């Protein structure tokens, strides 16, 4: 859906989702996109002074993608739970 939106609409939706605490959902959706489509959305974020919040959100998203989150966090939590059940 984001891939077919007009310029800036996906960014606005991402910012709204982040404000609602849905950053992991944003990361999952962006991670599943082809690189060229994801790049078009990322280009809409601004590094101008008044758009400081956009850069903060974009930096967080890119950091989570780079680390492999939220999937890696889910795997770690699951393994920790298994270890706790086994008493390790």
pLDDT for residue 13: 92
The span from the CA of 86 to the CA of 5, in Å, is 48
The span from the CA of 78 to the CA of 76, in Å, is 5
Taking the CB of residue 10, how many other CB atoms lie within 10 A of it?
24
**Segment 41-54, tens digit of pLDDT:** 888 887 655 578 88
Whole-prediction pTM value? 0.71
Low-confidence ranges of the chain (pLDDT < 70): 47-50, 69-80, 88
pLDDT for residue 88: 58
């Amino acid at each position: 859906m984001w891939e077919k939106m007009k310029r800036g609409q996906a960014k606005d939706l991402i910012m709204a989702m982040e404000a609602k605490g849905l950053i992991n959902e944003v990361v999952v959706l962006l991670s599943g996109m082809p690189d060229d489509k994801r790049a078009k959305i990322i280009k809409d974020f601004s590094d101008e002074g008044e758009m400081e919040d956009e850069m903060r959100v974009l930096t967080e998203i890119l950091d989570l993608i780079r680390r492999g989150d939220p999937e890696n966090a889910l795997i770690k939590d699951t393994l920790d739970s298994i270890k706790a059940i086994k008493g390790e």
